[in-house]
Chain A
Amino acid sequence: MAQGAFQLAREGLRYRGREGQWSWLLHRVTGIGVFLFLALHIVDIFLMSFGEEVFNELLFIYKQPWARIGHIFLFFGVLFHALNGIRVTILDFWPSAWRYQRQAVWVQVVIFLILFVPSALAIIMSMLS
């Protein structure tokens, strides 16, 4: 089974799908990433029930440099997943918009960059200061 899954992934990645295939793959990867963060987040909020101090002590995790870089990845994941979800929903509800499906991906990329780049820079600046 594991070998089958590995072979499938290798063959699937070799298939020359276009924008839609790659955005679907990234949608899945970012979905898993955001889910893992949410799981961690639920755990840390849950620790609140053990008192203020326990919770505050745990917060040091998020102040580590690697966690700050993780923020950038988290923002990347949430933003991509949200924008891609909106694009797919639009295409599902307006079937005739399929003609512009490739352009839609590129519009999505532009909106993504406009929102992501300044935010990522802001996170990096706050890390450096």
Chain B
Amino acid sequence: MEVTVRIKRYDPEKDGEPWWGEYKVEVDETDRVLDALHYIKWYQDGTLTFRRSCGHGICGSDAMRINGYNRLACKVLIRDVAPVITVEPLLGLPVIKDLVVDMEPFFAHYRAVMPWLINDEPPPPRERLQSPEERELFDDTTKCILCAACTTSCPAFWLRGEYVGPAAIVQAHRFIFDSRDRGAVQRLEILNAPDGVWRCRTIFNCTNACPREIEITKAIAEVKKALIFSRL
């Protein structure tokens, strides 16, 4: 089938303003949007720039706005978005070129919540045991692939880039509720700051956008509750 792909193009060295490029592509309905982008880059316009790595929904490189909605280009089937497919860069991060955005502000927020295990206690003779119930508390938030689809779907983040954002809170949640971790107090203090969890307005755009189907707004609400009910 033939589809029309409209892509928001922008080359800071040549273009004063972003412009819409329109491409007609012959694809199968079970192809992914990423396949259409490849086809355009390989056979129609080699200057088209986008990120992708694994192409199978694991690396999180190809998050973009497809038909007005954040998704991974490698996970969206053509038949679900045809016949006219609009592709734009993520909103809220500076565009470097075409569909490539500067992810540094996103990763800075990620690093801010200390996304690693904090535990200074002497290691036990064998592993640090954890019951299935304890593990279950943060199982969902271990699935994050840092694609930024959630953070860049969040109106609170669009309005204020200093807001730590859903993805960083998901990462913090993954350690705050881990029974082996001892850094919960530090992380909760960071998230209690004015640009921490309280900027979340419970809008649910992040939950809707997550390609891993993480219950993000629920995780954020759990962090809010931990802040309200725990005595720091």
Contact = CB atoms under 8 A, between A and B. Distances in A.
Interface string A9-28: 00110111111110011010
B68 interface: yes
B150 to A, nearest CB: 12
Given A93-B225, A101-B217, A15 B68 contact: yes
Interface string A86-129: 00100111011010010000000000000000000000000000
A49 B158 CA distance: 45
Nearest to A11: B91
Interface in B204-232: 204-205, 207-208, 215, 217-219, 221-222, 224-225
Interface string B133-157: 0000000000000000000010100
Interface residues of B, number: 24
Contacts of B217: 91, 95, 98, 101
A98 B224 contact: no
B91 A15 contact: yes
Interface in B172-222: 201-205, 207-208, 215, 217-219, 221-222
A63 B125 CA distance: 81
B162 to A, nearest CB: 15
Nearest to B209: A17
B225 A17 contact: no
B205 A21 contact: yes
Contacts of B130: none
Q: What are the nearest 9 A-B pairs in CB distance?
A: A20-B204, A95-B221, A16-B68, A98-B218, A95-B218, A20-B203, A16-B69, A24-B203, A17-B205
Given A92-B224, A95-B225, 12 more contacts: A12-B158, A17-B153, A17-B155, A17-B208, A21-B204, A27-B201, A95-B218, A95-B219, A95-B222, A96-B218, A98-B217, A101-B207
Interface of A: 8, 11-12, 14-21, 24-25, 27, 88, 91-93, 95-96, 98, 101
